[in-house]
Amino acid sequence: MVPLHFTCRGKHMFISKLGVYRAVLTTSALAGVLALGVAVTAPVTAAEPLDVPVSINALMVTMIDHSAHHIWDHQAMNRTLDDPEWQLVEYFSIQLAGAGSLISLGGSGPADAGWVASEQWRTFAQAMSNAALMSMEAAKTKNLELLGTAADALVDSCEGCHDAFKPASPTEGIMHLPDYDHLYHLFL
Ligand code: HEC
């Protein structure tokens, strides 16, 4: 009971802080309008994203490929999935959808900054996120046909980017075999 009570209080405090923040914003925006006699847009200071402290090579092997294989392997079972299986598909689709944005930010690998500066790179990263969102939707609606379409779109996004950018051997030498093979395939 005690932790629950605590959480509720924390939430309440958060909401009231947000309320104060909104009130301050509204007041200063109003002051701007009154002073200038025109509607002004308050300048927004964009926070710099944090540096990505690991390499794209490492994220590919430990996160992106791993999440994608949960989607592909469930799809390849070619049968109705039960609720916990759909939830796994949803879970890893969420990871993969977020990972698309993550790999557009950079990384600690030697080639990462150059790759993410390319418009084509962003297009493939976006395509990967979009395919993952599709498989997330398939999981939510338990739609096997949509899962198949999403799995295909996902392959296209990986292969398209690999054809365009992936060097013959990993820049940091990180690979499934022998490094992370036990995390790779689930069912196949
Ligand atoms: C936006 C571009 C891009 C997308 C999208 C992408 N990759 Fe990659 N991937 C790369 C690059 C570039 C490398 C090489 C990284 C390095 O060597 O530093 C790589 C490396 C890898 C590696 C390790 C390299 C190896 O030779 O073993 C795996 C595994 C991998 N990707 C899987 C995937 C999978 C699965 C998907 C799709 C779900 C995917 N990637 C989507 C660009 C991409």
Q: Where are the domains of the chain?
A: 1-46, 56-183
Mean pLDDT of 71-90: 95
Token look-up 């990967």 returns 128
Mean per-residue pLDDT over the chain, rounded:
82
Segment 69-87 mean pLDDT = 95
pLDDT of 32 above 70: no
Q: By C-alpha distance, which of 72, 74, 62 is closest to 103?
A: 62
At 178 the pLDDT is 80
Residues 75 and 151 sit within 8 Å (Cβ to Cβ)? yes
* Structure token pair of residue 149: 């379409």
pLDDT value at position 176? 84
CB 153 within 8 A of CB 100: no
Q: Is 96 helix (H, G, I), strand (E, B) or coil?
A: helix
Instruction: Identify the pLDDT of residue 185.
Output: 67
pLDDT at 45 over 90: no
Protein residue closest via CA to atom 11 of ligand 1: 166
Task: Please tell me the distance between residue 156's alpha carbon and the centre of ligand 1 in angstroms.
Answer: 12
Contact 69, 184 (CB under 8 A): yes
Of 78, 71, 68, 82, the C-alpha closest to 142 is 82
Question: Which residue type occupies 109?
Answer: G
Does residue 103 carry a pLDDT above 50? yes
Looking at residue 83, the DSSP 8-state letter turns out to be H
User: Position 183: which residue type?
Assistant: L
Lining residues, ligand 1, CB within 6 Å: 56-57, 60-61, 64-65, 68, 103, 109, 111, 115, 121, 124-125, 128, 154, 157-158, 161-162, 165-167, 170-172, 175-176
Q: How large a percentage of the chain has pLDDT more than 70?
A: 74
Confidence category of residue 172, pLDDT binned at 50, 70, 90: very high
Q: Which amino acid is at 129?
A: S
Across the range 3-8, mean pLDDT stands at 35
Mean pLDDT confidence for 43-61: 90
- pLDDT category of residue 6 using cuts at 50, 70 and 90: very low
Q: Give the CATH fold of the 56-183 domain.
A: Four Helix Bundle (Hemerythrin (Met), subunit A) (1.20.120)
Exposed/middle/buried for residue 45 (C-beta within 10 Å: 0-12, 13-18, 19+): exposed
User: Can you give the pLDDT at residue 170?
Assistant: 96
Distance of alpha carbon 118 from alpha carbon 106, whole angstroms: 11
Distance 146 CA to ligand 1 centre (A): 24
- Higher-scoring residue by pLDDT: 9, 110: 110
- For residue 20, what pLDDT is reported? 40
